[in-house]
Amino acid sequence: MEECVRCNEVDEDRRTLWMACFYQMNELELPFEKQIITDKEDRKHNFFTLRVCKRCRADWMEAIRDWFNTPIGPESSCGSGIYVRRFGDTVEVTEEEFREKYG
């Protein structure tokens, strides 16, 4: 019997979600397990996995579909000149957002 890392349901039917975007996924503070895979050229790649039930896998798939289908608006500046890193991307935030997150 195995427990789903998301909803804690226990049974024998689990799925493994594999995340590989060449980014340190541990920044998300999720219970990923790190897997190191060696390719044909003997290069090592980090993959991150989660063991989940079918329902949680379906939620994950739906979230990815929604992300992909959400239109991206034009970039706009709030005029603060304050830039932070957010999951590897540089984004401008307001003074209020900066103070709230970084003190």
Q: Is residue 31 part of a domain?
A: yes
**How many domains does the structure of the chain reveal?**
1
Per-residue pLDDT tens over the stretch 51-103: 999 999 999 999 999 999 999 877 788 889 999 988 888 889 999 999 998 88
Average pLDDT over residues 43-52: 93
Residue 101 lies in a domain: no
C-alpha distance from residue 72 to each of 39, 50, 75 (Å) = 34, 28, 9
Please identify which residue in the block is written with the tokens 């493994």.
16
In a domain, 6, yes or no: yes
> Is residue 47 included in any domain, yes or no?
yes
For 10, 11, 73, 101, the CA distances from 18, given in Å and listed in that order, are 20, 20, 29, 30
The whole-number average pLDDT for the span 39-57 is: 94
Give domain status of residue 88, yes or no. no
Query: In the numeric block, which tokens belong to residue 24?
Result: 């340190």
Identify the H or E element spanning 12. none
Helix (H, G, I), strand (E, B) or coil at 32: coil
Cα–Cα distance for residue pair 93/84, rounded to 1 Å:
7
Residue 45 lies in a domain: yes
- Domain with 62, as residue range(s), is 2-70
pTM score, whole prediction: 0.73
Q: What is the pLDDT at residue 98? A: 93
